[in-house]
A and B are shown apart, each in its own frame.
Chain A
Amino acid sequence: MRYESFRKALVLLVLLPFVAGPEARADIRRPIHFKSADGTDLSGTFYDSRAVGPGALFLLDCEGEAPELVNLAGKITAAGPRVLLWNYRPDGNPKASVDKATADANAAWQFLSHQPRVGTDVIGIVAVGCGARIAIPFAAKTGKVKLMVLISPDLEGVTDEQVAAVGDIPLQIYANGDEADAKRLFAANHNDKTQLKMYRRSEKAMNLYRADRALRDGIDTYFQNVYGAFSADDF
């Protein structure tokens, strides 16, 4: 009898992390499809959450898929915000066609902001590399972006007026010490939550993300820091 009770105790201990884990995270990841303005079918992954909170839209680099971001999206959602992770259509990234990429990003935004419990004007953006070419103009034009995380922002084609128009938005920027666009963006910003983290290494964008394991946690925490300042009434 005594042996049996200890065996039950052991089984409970082994199972505890698995039972507690999903409840704590409470994120639901599912593949989704949405249509761009020209009717093209775009696909992505939506991370839902039971918590009340805002949303986060990913704008990827032009170099193709970045499977590591799946993990980051999950971490952000675990802290509250729902996340839409999607990729550009073939031949539709911001380098190949900035107009097409902008239209598709708008459609992604529409999809995200129409999800239950996601406020249309409480959305953050995570942009990597050339994703910043559409992130900044989008934020400048709509005035609806509440924070941006940018890894090695590539600002080709972005005007000084657009950079100035996002001067009030909290930005978290990661770049190596040689990236002039990152410094340009930081210099134009005056939100007291804005941060620029520079590295003495040559990697950029997703390679920089991979090189610094603390980067992922920094993004997750930044979302929590900034969004934490909003009241539940905003959502």
Chain B
Amino acid sequence: MKHPPFRPALVLAGLLPLFLAAGARAVDRHPTKFNGADGTEIPATFFDSRATGPAALFLQDCDGDAPELLNLAGKITASGPRALLWNYRPGGNPKEALEKAVEDANAAWRMLISQTRVGSDRIGIVAIGCGARIAVPFAAKTGKVKLMAVISPDLTGVTDEQLAAVADLPLLIFANDGEADAKRLFAATHHEKSQLKLYRRPEKGMALYQADGTLKGGIDDYFEFVYGGWAHPAY
């Protein structure tokens, strides 16, 4: 009978980390779909968040699904931005059918900006490998991309004019030292928040992502670093 008053305290203390963790993340992940330009239904995963903030669109590599990106999308959303993770339709990645991939990316973009509390011109892109073939021209053409995190960018078909048009964007680039396109992209940017991280290892794209345990945290932090500088009323 002497101890019961302490029991609620101990229970509360034990549960506190669980409450705090859930509150801090506040990520709602659910499957969704959108229609590509020709009406093809494309499946996706949308990461919603209770926080007010911008959004992130993923443009994946051409080598198929990368389930590790679910974790990254969740981490990005946990710090504010909603994220849309989708993949190209069969036969429709930027290497196989560039125009189709561009159209589908446009549709993904429209789907993302139509979500509640997502500003149409406050969206960042995470592009891996050949995803950069459409990410850079898209950012250059629309002027609506506010940051890009790029892993092993493949810039086949991307013109110098398109690169010059994204020179004012904050870019976070990861690549191995042999990747000339990463250096080309970095050389073209002059935003003071742009960063290039080079590795002395042979992996590229998702293999590089898997090889460096800190890369995921770097992208997550970068979104917070760049978006954190924007005025709240804009959203």
A-to-B contact residues, CB < 8 Å: 1, 4-6, 8-9, 11-13, 16, 177, 186-187, 189-201, 212-214, 217-218, 221-222, 225
- Of the candidates A197, A217, A222, which one forms a contact with B221 in the assembled complex, judged by CB atoms under 8 Å apart? A217
CB-CB under 8 A from B192, the residues of chain A are 199-201
Would you list 7 pairs from A and B whose C-beta atoms are within 8 A, ordered by A residue?
A: A1-B5, A9-B12, A13-B16, A186-B200, A192-B199, A201-B193, A218-B218
Given contacts A9-B12, A13-B13, 6 further A-B contacts (CB under 8 A): A5-B4, A5-B5, A12-B13, A186-B198, A199-B192, A222-B214
In this complex, the member of B177, B200, B201 whose beta carbon has the largest number of chain A beta carbons within 10 angstroms is B200
Chain B residues closer than 8 Å to A8, beta-carbon distance: 5-6, 8-9
Q: Are B13 and A16 in contact (CB under 8 A)?
A: yes
**When the two chains form their complex, are residues B225 and A213 in contact, meaning their CB atoms are under 8 A apart?**
yes
Interface contact A200-B195, CB-CB below 8 Å: yes
Closest-CB distance, A178 to chain B (whole angstroms): 12
B210: min CB distance to chain A, Å = 13
Q: Is the CB of A186 within 8 A of B177?
A: yes
Closest Cβ neighbor of B213 among chain A residues: A225
B197 and A196 contact, CB distance less than 8 A: yes
- Closest B residue to A203 by CB, please name it: B192
Given A189-B200, A195-B200, A200-B186: A5 and B9 interface contact (C-beta under 8 Å): yes
Q: How far is the CB of B109 from chain A (nearest CB, A)?
A: 26
The answer to whether A192 touches B201, judged by C-beta atoms less than 8 angstroms apart, is yes
How many Å from the CB of B187 to the closest CB on chain A? Answer: 8
> A217 contacts which chain B residues (CB < 8 A)?
217, 221
Task: Kindly report which residue of chain A lies nearest to residue B190, judged by CB atoms.
Answer: A200
Inter-subunit contact A200/B194 (CB<8 Å): yes
| Complex Cα gap A221–B225 (Å) | 18
Contacts of B16 in A (CB 8 A): 13, 16
Known: A199-B194, A200-B186, A214-B225. A221 touches B217 (CB 8 A): yes
B189 within 8 A of A: yes
- Chain A residues whose CB sits within 8 angstroms of the CB of B6 once the complex forms: 5, 8
Contact yes or no, B199 A194, CB < 8 A: yes
Inter-subunit contact A198/B217 (CB<8 Å) = no
Q: Tell me if B5 and A198 are in contact (CB < 8 A).
A: no
Q: Are A197 and B214 in contact (CB under 8 A)?
A: no
Give per-residue flags for B1-39: 1 if the beta carbon is below 8 A from chain A beta carbons, else 0. 000111111101100100000000000000000000000
B5–A197 touching, CB < 8 Å: no
Partner of B200, one of A4, A191, A200, A225: A191
Which residue from chain A places its CB closest to the CB of B217 in the assembled complex? A221
Q: Which residues of B contact A196 (CB under 8 A)?
A: 177, 197-198
A80 to B177, CA, bound (A): 30
CB distance from A184 to the nearest CB of B (A): 13
Residues in A whose Cβ lies below 8 Å from that of B197: 195-198
User: Are A198 and B195 touching (Cβ within 8 A)?
Assistant: yes
Verify B198–A12 contact, CB threshold 8 A. Answer: no
Check B196 for interface membership: any CB of A closer than 8 A: yes
Q: B177: nearest residue on chain A (CB-CB)?
A: A186
Contact assessment for B200 and A192 in the assembled complex, using a CB-CB cutoff below 8 Å: yes
Chain B residues with Cβ below 8 Å from A11 are 9
In the complex, what residue of chain A is closest to B221 when comparing beta carbons?
A214
Smallest beta-carbon distance A110→chain B, Å: 31
